[in-house]
Amino acid sequence: MKIKTLTQRGKYTLLAGVLGMSSIPSSAIPTGMADVSLPTVAQQTAKIKGKVLDARTGEPVIGANVVVKGTTNGSITNFDGEYELTAPIGSTLSISFIGYKSIEVKATGGLQTIKLDEDSEALDEVIVVGYTTQRKESLTGSMNNIKSEKLKDITTPSVENLLNGKVPGVYVAPGSGQPGSSGAVVIRGQATLNGTTSPLWVIDGVIVGSDAGQLNPADIESMTILKDAASTAIYGSQGANGVIVVTTKSGRAEKMTIEASVKLGVSSLNNGNLEVMNGAELYDYYASFQNANEISFPRWNKDLRDSNFSWWDLATQNGLTQEYNVSLRGGNEKMQSYLSVGYYDEEGAVKGYDYSRYNFRLKTTYKPFDWLTIKPALSGSLRNIDDRQYSVTAMYSMLPWDSPYDKDGNLVPHRYSGWVNTQQTNYLYDLQWNYSESKYYEFMGSLDFDIKITDWLTFSSVNNYKYINSTSHGYSDPRSSSGENVNGRLTEWRAEVTRRYTNQKLLINKDFGKHSISGLIAYEFNDYYYKNLDVYGTGFVPGFEVLDVVSKPERTKGGISEWATQSYFTQWKYVYDGKYIAEASIRRDGASNLGTNAKYGNLLSGSVGWIISREDWFDVDWIDNLKLRGGYGTVGNRPSSLYPQYDLYSVSSSYNENSGALISVIGNKDLTWEKTYTTSIGLDAALFNNRLRFTFDFYSKDTDNILYNVPVTGLTGVTSVYRNIGKMKNTGYEISLGGDIISTKDWFWNVELNIGHNSNKLKDLYKQKDTDGSYVVKPVIISDGSSIAGTAQRILEIGYPVDTYYLKEWAGVNPENGAPMWYKDTKDSEGNVTGRETTSNYAEAGYYKCGSAAPDLFGGFSTTLTWKGFDLNAVFGYSIGGKIYNYSRQEYDSDGTYTDRNQMKLKDGWNRWEKPGDIATHPVAKYNNQDKGNSASSRYLEDSDYLKLRSLTLGYNFKLPQWGIQNLRVFMNAENLFTITDYSGVDPEIPASDGSVMGTAGPAVYPSVRKYMFGLNLTF
């Protein structure tokens, strides 16, 4: 007999039978008791069978997990989507599969059909926006959320590089092709003059600084880019440049899932449109000089045409890249965990540079009680760099007539008498011994917890400690050019960084009727400590590599830097009837590096949203969602200097080996926040069952109290003081458009496009003393940030972008004599400018504003095509407008001025003057040319327009449930396949430098490499 439930009377009957009292008449059993159902004594178990189907297409879902909730008892669907397992009837089954929403159903007898919906970006999607999570439909700020699937097309250890071209309004200057190089991210234009333009990075609720550190891209679940004040004001003084919120993968209450991935491939360098001459071409070029008879090389004869050593081929290789990641994810209702380990290794496409990194991450969510959730996490990384890199500069600059080897294949020494350029060093000779190596350890530990006080009130605590240890060692042999004058040099560098972060907040979330209120009240503290030691020693026997052996301590330096911030803030959101939304926040920030009279500041925001498509009167069937939103708020920025508010002395100076002190900083006690006031309005729309999606944003950012190191008289030994000066304005718009063109059972074709435009203008600047004694605002000449002597300069002038080039303007070539020409102003007798004329005297030429570095339009577009198990994905990037100053041409396109380095070939459409009457792009070439034609001018200012195929991926998904494998994906990927551009240099995307976007290309560009990767992704 199968018993499901027992009444109270039945309980006594059963008990009597068990005790052997079956002779007791049933009349002896109490009858005056109510029949009360009791829990099941024995549940019916059976073979549970069913089928899992795609809710949209009706196709079987192969490899789906079907698990009895709270147990490890489960099965995987086969090729027909069928599953079978033994379980009690009525038990809860959890069904999950990648790309679908997980569901729970009750197990029934017979064949059970279960349908899974695709996990698309629906309106009820929950997005992490920093201190809270919000449903996508209720967002009022401008932000973009990117899932991990969109971040897998690029193979890089740097998270910043993954964003390139994927988000409207987010400009990314990629890292160089050197392994491990990071990109620079700018959101909605430059909003400061002296400070960083990098956004704030937040990882799992922890503020980590202006970069993502050593985060493994494979651990990322999603990234949310917050762009307007309605989204970033809650971060106060750190949100002026935008915020990037990263959520890493976590455990799930489901059967353990193991994911493993392998990538192997090669990378190669390409020189873009820059081609340097071979031996024959360079000889013919020199022989064509107007004064070729004056050439005085040690070797100068036609035999040089046959001397053709390729320094490019010497230095470059097909570098091997390999990446391995393994993760485990699973758990139950009480505890969920995620563990991952990763290894990345890349050889440089320029020989001699090896980069490797190890990562691990462990996250656990433990719920010992219904009211308490504990969330410990630990992550770490180790980065190793072995640097014996061949010279990037020499790839372009070394004469093809000079080989680093003699006829017997031995390396020639420095300043070799057999070379044409006998003053040049042979860097390969030094690389026999010289090298550097570094190690970088990064660890982060968190102990977070949530206490549920009521169903609408929760206390949440985030507590994090970050530790970084960095070491480097350098060896310069006594026989090398860098070590010969000091009999060898050893360098040792050590640095430690600690960051503490804590955030304590009360979260409120209450619904009543048509009203919904959510908010938070919080306190936050964040501090930073840095200590370094920098030691040089010289004089040692070759081969020894520890400081104990040096005869002289050449340098001993070290330092400590600290800062801290603390904040109090609150944020509230009100939603009425699911269609009217209002949100507001206020934050009070204090920072250690602001003036004692202005250490705290208040930053606030307000925003509203209206979901028009939910109005009763809105009856347009083909519009699924239509939302209007707008916001206004303030965000801040702090000085990059740590102690600008104090009068400081430098005690690192010395006189006759005695220590001394010099005034180094004149403090400003009134130094306060640089504030940016942002107004934005946006429209979101989804049409035709979400198959067409559109977003438009317009913004205006006004920056006031700009922080700037203002020049002052140097009588005290200090030449600048930090002050709040000036105003700046950025305006722009962003468009995002996506559509599913084909969506059928077997075919899916999607196209996405994003466009960003930003216009920058300086509105005010500090005043300077005029000739009549009054103080007026004057233009300020600044550098281009490249640290190259003799390169372009820029100008800060009211009414113009802050990245405006200020150069002598190129006027072409004089057709009569081939001389270079520039423009100069013509003036009347009273000094008024009446027009312009040309001159071949560089000193007479005038300076003019010649355009800006920032593009007019930038963004990307992508397309995805799938057919059954195949998928094809292509990602493009583009930029229109903007200028690059190609400094490399000052050296490699120098008209004969530089005779100690190779020269570039003239690109199509260029020609050189040879005889009177020639209309040419290039002046006459002369040996040791002194015409100044290669001096800084708009001659070398070029358009930065380009179209790039960033990645192309072809993959196939295998379903192998009979082997317990949910999914096996095999793919091939190619990166940076082609670039369409008129730019004459190596790459119109100039690599970032120390997290900054560059507008000048130097003589040694290490461009993004072309990669060909093969990979496997395995899930079981």
CA dihedral (87, 92, 97, 101) in degrees, to 10, reads 170
The answer to whether 718 touches 694, Cβ cutoff 8 Å, is: no
Report the half-sphere exposure of 973 (CA within 13 A, side-chain side).
24
DSSP 527: E
- In the structure encoding, which two tokens stand for residue 985, read together? 């240099």
Q: What is the pLDDT of residue 233?
A: 86
Q: What is the pLDDT of residue 19?
A: 30
pLDDT tens string 701-728: 999 998 888 888 777 778 888 888 899 9
Q: Is the pLDDT of residue 680 over 90?
A: yes
Show the DSSP H helices in 321-437 as ranges: 392-397, 427-430
**Distance between CA atoms of 502 and 506, rounded to whole angstroms?**
14
**Distance between CA atoms of 140 and 642, rounded to whole angstroms?**
35
The mean pLDDT value for 995-1017 works out to 90
Q: Is the pLDDT of residue 65 over 90?
A: no
Q: What is the Cα Rg of the chain in Å?
A: 34
**Would the CA dihedral through 771, 775, 778, 781 be positive or negative?**
positive
Please give the domain boundaries of the chain with CATH numbers for all domains. 8-116 (2.60.40.1120)
**Distance between CA atoms of 384 and 436, rounded to whole angstroms?**
11
- In the structure encoding, which two tokens stand for residue 306, read together? 């046959």
**Distance between CA atoms of 1006 and 514, rounded to whole angstroms?**
59
The mean pLDDT value for 66-91 works out to 81
CA dihedral (654, 659, 664, 670) in degrees, to 10, reads 180
Structural element, H or E, at residue 17:
helix 8-18
| Residues, the chain | 1020
Distances (CA, A) of 840 to 112, 390, 472, 834: 88, 40, 50, 20
Q: What is the pLDDT of residue 142?
A: 87
Q: What is the pLDDT of residue 13?
A: 34
Q: Which of 15-24, 269-278, 706-715, 718-727 has the highest mean pLDDT?
A: 269-278
Q: Which of 410, 221, 404, 223 is nearest to 327 (CA)?
A: 221
The mean pLDDT value for 771-777 works out to 87
Phi, psi of 45 (to 5 degrees): -105, 150
DSSP 990: P
The mean pLDDT value for 980-998 works out to 89
Q: Is the pLDDT of residue 23 over 80?
A: no
Distances (CA, A) of 986 to 313, 359, 512, 926, 1007: 16, 33, 62, 26, 7
- In the structure encoding, which two tokens stand for residue 854, read together? 């920032």
Band (pLDDT 50/70/90 cuts) for residue 221 is very high
Q: Is the pLDDT of residue 153 over 50?
A: yes
Band (pLDDT 50/70/90 cuts) for residue 438 is very high
**What number of other Cβ atoms are within 10 A of residue 859's Cβ?**
25
**Distance between CA atoms of 1016 and 1020, rounded to whole angstroms?**
13
DSSP 16: H
The 3-class SS string of 146-213 reads: EEHHHHCCCCCCCCHHHHCCCCCCEEEECCCCCCCCCCEEEECCCCCCCCCCCCEEEECCEEEECCCC
Ranking 245-249, 735-739, 1005-1009 by mean pLDDT, the lowest is 1005-1009
Ranking 277-286, 402-411, 957-966 by mean pLDDT, the lowest is 957-966
Band (pLDDT 50/70/90 cuts) for residue 8 is very low
pLDDT tens string 560-616: 999 999 999 999 999 999 899 999 999 999 988 888 888 888 999 999 999 999 999
Ranking 28-42, 137-151, 218-232 by mean pLDDT, the lowest is 28-42
Residue predicted with more confidence, 653 or 662: 662
The mean pLDDT value for 140-156 works out to 86
Ranking 412-416, 497-501, 560-564, 715-719 by mean pLDDT, the lowest is 715-719
DSSP result, 846-896: PEEEEEESS-SEEEEEEEEEEETTEEEEEEEEEEES-EEEETHHHHHS-TT
Q: Is the pLDDT of residue 43 over 70?
A: no
Structural element, H or E, at residue 468:
strand 457-476
Look at strands 111-116 and 45-54 and give their pairing: parallel
Distances (CA, A) of 391 to 62, 151, 1003: 53, 32, 12
**Distance between CA atoms of 619 and 610, rounded to whole angstroms?**
16
pLDDT tens string 531-557: 999 999 999 999 899 999 999 999 999
Band (pLDDT 50/70/90 cuts) for residue 801 is very high
Q: Is the pLDDT of residue 675 over 50?
A: yes
**Distance between CA atoms of 321 and 354, rounded to whole angstroms?**
10
- In the structure encoding, which two tokens stand for residue 669, read together? 């006690």
Q: Is the pLDDT of residue 37 over 50?
A: no
Q: Which amino acid is at 187?
A: I
**Distance between CA atoms of 564 and 445, rounded to whole angstroms?**
19
Average pLDDT, the chain: 89
Phi, psi of 50 (to 5 degrees): -170, 180
CA dihedral (289, 292, 297, 303) in degrees, to 10, reads 90
Query: Please, which residues have CB within 8 angstroms of residue 442's CB and are 6 or more apart in sequence?
Result: 213, 214, 380, 381, 383, 466, 467, 468
Q: What is the pLDDT of residue 876?
A: 95
Q: Is the pLDDT of residue 980 over 80?
A: yes
Q: Which of 501, 438, 445, 461 is nearest to 209 (CA)?
A: 501
Q: What is the pLDDT of residue 310?
A: 96
DSSP result, 269-332: ---TT--B--HHHHHHHHHTSTTGGG---SS-SGGGGG----HHHHHB--EEEEEEEEEEEEE-
- In the structure encoding, which two tokens stand for residue 136, read together? 């996508």
Q: What is the pLDDT of residue 9?
A: 37
SS3 599: coil
**Distance between CA atoms of 96 and 883, rounded to whole angstroms?**
51
SS3 8: helix
**What number of other Cβ atoms are within 10 A of residue 164's Cβ?**
25
Q: Is the pLDDT of residue 28 over 60?
A: no
Q: What is the pLDDT of residue 647?
A: 81
Q: What is the pLDDT of residue 709?
A: 85
Planar angle of CA 648, 653, 657, nearest 5 degrees: 150
